[in-house]
Structure 1
Amino acid sequence: MKGYVFHGPGRASWEDVPDPAVKEPTDAIVRVDAVTICGTDLHILKGDVPEVRPGTVLGHEAVGEIVETGADVRTVRPGDRVLISCITACGRCAYCREAMYGQCRGGGGWILGHLIDGTQSEYVRVSHADLSVHPLPAALGDRDAVLLADIFPTAYEVGVLNGRVRPGDTVAVVGAGPIGLAAIATARLLSPERILAVDPAASRRDAARRLGADAVADSAEAPEQLIADLTDGLGADVVVEAVGLPETFELCTRMVRPGGHVANVGVHGRPATLHLEDLWIKNLTITTGLVDTHSTPTLLRMAAAGRLPTPQLVTHTFPLDHMEQAYDVFVRSADTGALKVVLARQQHEEVPAQREGAS
Structure 2
Amino acid sequence: MKALVYHGPGRRSWEEVPDPSVAEPSDAVVRVDAVTICGTDLHILKGDVPEVKPGRVLGHEAVGTVTATGDGVSTLRAGDRVLVSCISACGRCRYCRTGSYGQCLGGGGWILGHLVDGTQAEYVRVPFADTSVHRLPETVSDEAALMLADILPTAYEVGVLNGRVRPGDTVVVVGAGPIGLAVVMTARLFTPGHIVAVDLAPARLEAARRLGADVLVGPGEDAAAAVAALTDGLGADVAVEAVGVPETFELCARLVRPGGHVANVGVHGAPATLHLEELWIRNVTITTGLVDTFSTPDLLAMVAAGRLDPEAFVTHRFALDAPDGMDAAYAAFADPRATGALKVVLSRAAPAAP
TM range (shorter): over 0.9
Q: Which residue is 1:324 aligned to?
A: 327
CA distance in 2, matches of 1:77, 1:183: 34
1:155–1:186 contact (8 Å) kept in structure 2: yes
RMSD: 0.9
1:1-359 to 2 correspondence within 5 Å?
A: 1-218=1-218, 220-321=220-321, 322-346=325-349
Question: Aligned partners of 2:90 and 2:249: how far apart in 1?
Answer: 33
What secondary structure, in the 3-state scheme, does the structure 2 residue paired with 1:329 have? helix
Cα-to-partner distance string for 1:68-103 (whole Å, 9 max, x where unaligned): 000000111100000000000000000000000000
| 8 Å Cα contact 1:237/1:257 also seen in 2 | yes
Shift of 1:219: 5.0
Cα distance in 2, alignment partners of residues 197 and 164 from structure 1: 18
> Do the aligned partners of 1:318 and 1:347 also contact (CA within 8 Å) in 2?
no
- The change in CA–CA distance for 1:166 and 1:219 in structure 2 (over 3 A counts) is farther
Q: What is the rounded CA distance, in whole Å, between the counterparts of 1:89 and 1:123 in structure 2?
A: 20
CA contact (8 A) 1:211 1:309 kept: no
CA contact (8 A) 1:196 1:216 kept: yes
Aligned partners of 1:2, 1:153: CA distance in 2, in Å?
29
Name the aligned partner's letter for residue 339 of structure 2: T
Code of the residue aligned with 1:340 in structure 2: it is K
Amino acid at match of 1:203: A
Please give the secondary structure, in 2, of the residue aligned with 1:317. strand
How many residues matched?
A: 348
Runs of 4+ with >4 A deviation: none
The Cα offsets for residues 188-234 of structure 1, whole Å up to 9 and x where unpaired, read as 00010010000000000000000000111015422111101111000
For structure 1, the residue ranges without an aligned partner over 5 or more in a row are 349-359
| Aligned mates of 2:71, 2:348 — CA distance in 1 | 28
SS in 1 for 2:147: helix
Q: What are structure 2's unaligned runs of at least 5 residues?
A: none
Q: Distance in 2 between matches of 1:64 and 1:150?
A: 15
Partners of 1:187 and 1:219 lie apart in 2 by: 24
Compute the TM-score of the two structures, normalised by the length of structure 1: 0.96
**Per-residue CA shift, 1:249-289, capped at 9, x if unaligned?**
00000000000000000000000000001111110000000
Taking only the aligned residue pairs, the percentage that are identical comes to 71
Deviations 1:113-142 (A, max 9, x none): 000100000000000000100000110010
Query: Do the aligned residues in 2 keep the contact of 1:166 with 1:190 (CA within 8 Å)?
Result: yes
C-alpha separation in 2, matches of 1:54 and 1:233: 50
Q: Distance in 1 between matches of 2:245 and 2:222?
A: 17
**In 2, Cα distance between the equivalents of 1:219 and 1:126?**
42
Contact 2:147 / 2:311 at 8 angstroms: preserved in 1?
Answer: no
Contact 2:196–2:213 under 8 Å retained in 1: yes
Cα displacement (A) at 1:347? 6.0
Alpha-carbon distance change, 138 to 347 in structure 1, aligned in 2, over 3 angstroms: closer
Q: Deviations over 1:23-55 (max 9, x none)?
A: 100000000000000000000001110100000
Q: Distance in 2 between matches of 1:100 and 1:219?
A: 37
Distance 2:220 2:290 in 1: 28
The residue type paired with residue 308 of structure 1 is L
Cα distance in structure 1, aligned partners of 2:10 and 2:45: 5
Give the 3-state SS of the residue equivalent to 1:148 in structure 2.
Answer: coil
Q: 1:254 to 1:347 in 2, by over 3 A?
A: farther
- Tell me: CA distance 1:220–1:267, structure 2 relative to 1, closer, same or farther (3 Å): farther
